[in-house]
Amino acid sequence: MYFQDFAVNFDTSIIGQGFSAELGRTGYSISPYIFQRPDVTPYFQNDRWDNGKWMFDGGILGFHFGGAKLDAFAGRQSNRLTTAGLDMQPMIAGFVGHRFTPGGGRPTGLPNNNPMLGPVQGVPIDQHLGLHLQVPLSQNGQLDLAYIWLESNTGVDAAGNLTDNANPALPAGGPRVANRVQVFGGDLKWNFGSIVVNGGYSQSNVQNGNNDVVNRENWAWHARAAYETSRWGLQAGYREIRPQFAAPGDWGRIGMWWNPTDIRGPEASAHLNLTDQLKLTATGEWYTGTGRNFTLPASFGGGVSTGLATNDHINRYTAELGYRLNDAWNLSLGAEWVDWDLKSMGVAPHKPTERWYNIGLGYNLSDMARLSFLWQISDYDSKGTAGFDPFGNAGVTRATGNLLTTQLTVKF
């Protein structure tokens, strides 16, 4: 058990400038590519876990200047323990090198977000200070700008071990090579009637003290246009995420790979209300590698880090059909397909596939209670591609399985 929100809110002023304050255990988010907690519980729905806010012990100060608003937020990002002694929402930021090189281990999940389990793939964050400026642009648009300083009390060595040797509970580490991350960027949104356009840029710099460790190949940009009517909607966009980009955000997943990097390409989604009870949703993403190889910092051993080539392709598709039987019951059928085509690995076809098929059933017990069921069928096939064998077992190329889960939600 733990406290997720435990804060006080009040309004006050200093030298005639009014501002709002929220102090205690609170939360904050900005945008998926800058500062937003990943939703790593796709099987379950919970407002507090799915709101995208990073929770911390500290405060948020909000200042208004005409129509513009400036938020300053700071606090402790670690050691918010449950009664079992576990950190409920550990944060990792920053990255050095490529997360995936064709022929190496297949990327899964987020970079290791539990430093107590061993080497981490980034900097474990203990405290942060951030500024977020929101500026309205007439009646149709808004500009958001942010700058965030993130810092670790221990830092990490070149192998990713924590360097706090004074704490016997932590792995013994070598010389510290990184302990800070700076994230900055902005988003612009504009409304052209039925068409809404938005885009943004963000960057994550890794530092050791005041010295830069990573300051290139560490940015991402995205752009998207959406068109909505009363019966259907369509979105189309493009994004590019460089290999060393690692903001504490939530920009999606490709199969089992959360917050993917070293990719660029278009994406599209559409939804159609076939009837008042029946809705169809579909998405498509078509990526290639960025082809950006570079030399690692000397403190990380030097050498050339290689990733996805421009002729490597990753395609992801999803589809879902939702049917509302009546006010109490609803049914959903969904699927996700991921196809890899790693041409940079040589002549032989290296085309792993990932498949998931979902059947969901929900029942509204009341306005405050809901019971849901999900049956998922999975089919993962490495097609003999090096680094993609399921469970890391040599010679095992395919894994199939089933998952049945239920959730009872009661709000009070």
Selection from 152, 114, 146 nearest residue 133 by Cα: 146
Check residue 170 and give its pLDDT. 59
Question: Which pLDDT belongs to residue 61?
Answer: 95
Residues in the chain: 412
Neighbours of 34 (CB within 10 A): 29
What is the C-alpha separation between 128 and 247, in angstroms, rounded?
13
The SS3 assignment for 112 reads coil
State how far the alpha carbon of 166 is from the alpha carbons of 158, 169, 172, in Å.
Answer: 18, 9, 9
What is d(CA 115, CA 34) in angstroms, rounded to the nearest whole number?
22
Whole-angstrom distance, CA of residue 132 vs CA of residue 390: 42
**Dist CA 38 CA 49 (whole Å):** 9
Say how far apart CA 31 and CA 53 lie, in whole Å. Answer: 10
Question: What's the pLDDT score for residue 172?
Answer: 61
Degrees, nearest 5: CA angle 196-201-203: 155
CATH class of the structural domain 6-410: mainly beta
Q: Cα dihedral sign for 113, 73, 259, 270?
A: positive
Q: Which amino acid, 365?
A: L
- Provide the residue type at 242 as one letter: R
Domain locations in the chain as residue ranges: 6-410
pLDDT of residue 165: 58
Residues of the chain with pLDDT under 50: none
Distance of CA 218 to the CA centre of its chain: 15
Tell me the three-class secondary structure of 314-332, residue by residue.
Answer: EEEEEEEEEEECCCCEEEE
Task: For residue 18, give both structure tokens.
Answer: 């009014």
Predicted pLDDT of residue 171: 61
